[in-house]
């Protein structure tokens, strides 16, 4: 009788060897497809998460609207930004009260007036660089997206970098998008103080206090009036 079994086994091994390149190519193709779709899904999920985050931030801000019933800065004219007034260097503010002096650009524990409003996206975007190019990128992005987080980030960053004109400009941009955000109002007022627009700053703050009765705003007003 013909001993066929060993030959069959050998043939199975041969088949495996013959198909090895095909299996390898299939495996690589599958891997590539998986990687491709993973990347695709990851970016979609990221976009989705960003959208959800933006919505929740916005909704939180809307909830805070009880603080600012009226747009405190609505009366501010855009031309104010273009006025050339010398910076007032002698203006000092008590650090324990000043909510702007220690604006932490890269610090996620930022609590200025928005205890429940983390700007995670900003920190994520910028965490790898602090170059001027990064700020330009955020500015460009803002022009397209009109994202309030980007504008707020720029306002805070420019303030910290002592670029008060730009800080004022971006705080104003934030206010245009969300008139109820106290944080942007404080940056705006503080920048004005630094630029020497003290009476105007006081006027804005008083107007805001009338509407909101904000304790933080009162403290800031006290500091400005007493030149602290």
Encoded one letter per residue, x for contact with another protein by CB under 8 A and - for no contact, window 14-53 reads xx-x------------------------------------
Choices 8-16, 63-71, 153-161, 206-214 (CB under 8 A): range interacting with another protein = 8-16
105 Cβ contact list (under 8 Å, min separation 6): 126, 130, 153, 156, 157, 160
> In this complex, which beta carbon is closest to another protein, that of residue 2 or of residue 115?
2
> 70 to each of 24, 115, 177, 181, how far by Cα in Å?
67, 21, 14, 11
Report the residue count for the chain: 228
Contact status: 1 vs another protein (CB under 8 A): yes
Least distance (Å) from another protein to the CB of residue 27?
21
Size of the site for another protein (CB under 8 A): 11
For tokens 């703050």, the residue is 205
Asked if 113 and 186 count as a contact pair (C-beta separation under 8 A), the reply is yes
> In this complex, which beta carbon is closest to another protein, that of residue 4 or of residue 132?
4
Asked if 184 and 208 count as a contact pair (C-beta separation under 8 A), the reply is no
Binding positions for another protein, rule: CB under 8 A: 1-2, 4, 7-8, 10-11, 13-15, 17
């Amino acid at each position: 009788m013909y001993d066929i079994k060993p030959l069959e086994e050998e043939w199975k091994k041969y088949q495996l060897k013959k198909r090895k390149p095909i299996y390898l190519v299939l495996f690589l193709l599958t891997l590539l497809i998986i990687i491709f779709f993973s990347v695709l899904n990851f970016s979609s999920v990221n976009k989705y998460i960003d959208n959800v985050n933006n919505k929740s931030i916005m909704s939180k801000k809307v909830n805070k609207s009880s603080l600012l019933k009226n747009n405190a800065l609505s009366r501010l004219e855009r031309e104010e930004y273009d006025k050339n007034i010398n910076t007032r260097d002698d203006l000092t503010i008590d650090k324990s009260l000043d909510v702007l002096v220690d604006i932490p650009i890269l610090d996620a524990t930022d609590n200025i007036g928005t205890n429940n409003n983390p700007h995670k996206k900003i920190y994520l975007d910028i965490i790898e660089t602090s170059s001027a190019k990064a700020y330009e990128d955020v500015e460009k992005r803002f022009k397209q997206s009109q994202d309030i987080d980007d504008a707020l980030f720029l306002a805070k960053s420019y303030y910290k970098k002592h670029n008060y004109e730009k800080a004022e400009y971006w705080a104003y941009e934030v206010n245009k998008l969300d008139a109820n955000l106290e944080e942007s109002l404080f940056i705006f007022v503080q920048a004005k103080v630094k630029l020497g627009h003290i009476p105007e700053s006081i006027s804005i703050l008083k107007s805001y206090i009338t509407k909101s009765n904000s304790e933080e705003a009162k403290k800031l007003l006290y500091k400005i009036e007493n030149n602290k």
